[in-house]
Amino acid sequence: MNKKATTLARLIFLFGFVILVLQSCVSVRGRNVKEWEKYEWQMVKVDKSEDPTWEIYKRKLKGTNFLEYKIEGDIPSSPEACLEAFRKDIHKLANGAENKKYPIYEISEESENSILTYVIHNEPFFFKNTEMSVRYLFYNDDEENFAVEWNEAWEESQIQPSKKLKRVDTFRGSWSFSPITNNSSKAINSVQFDPKGMPLWLINPMVYKFLKEGLEGIRTTSKQI
């Protein structure tokens, strides 16, 4: 083989090698982007009115089996009034105003910055009723931002498991209210949980309803404060 043929063969080999390396890099980058996108917020539902008043997002939490959902919307009340409305709704449930939905809703302990609750929820007939023990923690800062966070609190409640009830081992979430004007707020409500194999076609409608009713509840109650 002459020198020209040898040089051409080497160039063809080198060109082919470079193409394979580039294809491999593109493939790896594509997989990385898809993996990254799985854990980024994706809009899944939006108010269909001409002037949308809420948007719902969803994502997976990396390194866990948890799903996280959030709803965002404006509320025509101050952040402080919004947080007070949330607290007022807890008392409304505990005082029996929603007995048909909540056979038990107890405030076990309360302070200025915290509430401990025990709740039993009625579930559809093919599921066991569920029980939860939840601790709520309230915050605010110098910039007039107000928030509440909650998580499961079985160790604090020391309630023994019941064979008649399905225990919700993990229940976490938060509300944050940030000022837009003196009498309006940006509200974000997020919830996190492990679906434990439950299908999304069953989970999604329940979570969407929970988030929308929660936002509307704050809007309604905060007007009375």
For residue 99, the model assigns a pLDDT of 54
Lowest model confidence (mean pLDDT) among 12-16, 165-169, 210-214? 12-16
Q: DSSP for 13-54, please give it.
A: HHHHHHHHHHHHHHHHHHHHHHHHHHTS-EEEEE--SSS---
Please, which pLDDT band fits residue 2 given cuts at 50, 70 and 90? low
User: Does the pLDDT value for residue 102 go beyond 70?
Assistant: no
For residue 196, the model assigns a pLDDT of 81
Cβ–Cβ < 8 Å for 183, 223 = no
Question: What is the Cβ-side half-sphere exposure of residue 110, based on CA atoms within 13 angstroms?
Answer: 9
d(CA 167, CA 154) in angstroms, rounded, equals: 10
Q: What is the mean pLDDT of residues 155-177?
A: 89
Fold of the domain built from segment(s) 42-222 = Alpha-D-Glucose-1,6-Bisphosphate; Chain A, domain 4 (3.30.530)
> What one-letter code names the amino acid at 155?
E
d(CA 54, CA 15) in angstroms, rounded, equals: 53
Task: Specify the DSSP element, H or E, that contains 129.
Answer: strand 129-140
User: Does the pLDDT value for residue 6 go beyond 70?
Assistant: no
Please, which pLDDT band fits residue 45 given cuts at 50, 70 and 90? very high
d(CA 125, CA 183) in angstroms, rounded, equals: 43
Report angle CA 167, 171, 175 to the nearest 5 degrees.
150
Cβ–Cβ < 8 Å for 121, 130 = yes
Q: What is the mean pLDDT of residues 143-160?
A: 92
d(CA 66, CA 57) in angstroms, rounded, equals: 14
Q: Which of 165, 171, 179, 132 is nearest to 150 (CA)?
A: 171
Please, which pLDDT band fits residue 33 given cuts at 50, 70 and 90? very low
Lowest model confidence (mean pLDDT) among 25-29, 131-135, 141-145? 25-29
Structure tokens at 107: 């405030």
Q: What is the mean pLDDT of residues 117-144?
A: 89
Please report the beta strands in 13-128, taking only residues with DSSP state E, as ranges in sequence order. 42-46, 55-60, 67-75, 104-111, 114-121
Q: Which long-range contacts (CB under 8 A, 24 or more apart) does 39-45 make?
A: 41/70, 44/69, 44/204, 44/208, 45/208
Pick 48 or 134 by higher pLDDT: 134
Q: What is the mean pLDDT of residues 197-220?
A: 92
CB-based burial of residue 15 (10 Å sphere; 0-12 exposed, 13-18 middle, 19+ buried)? exposed
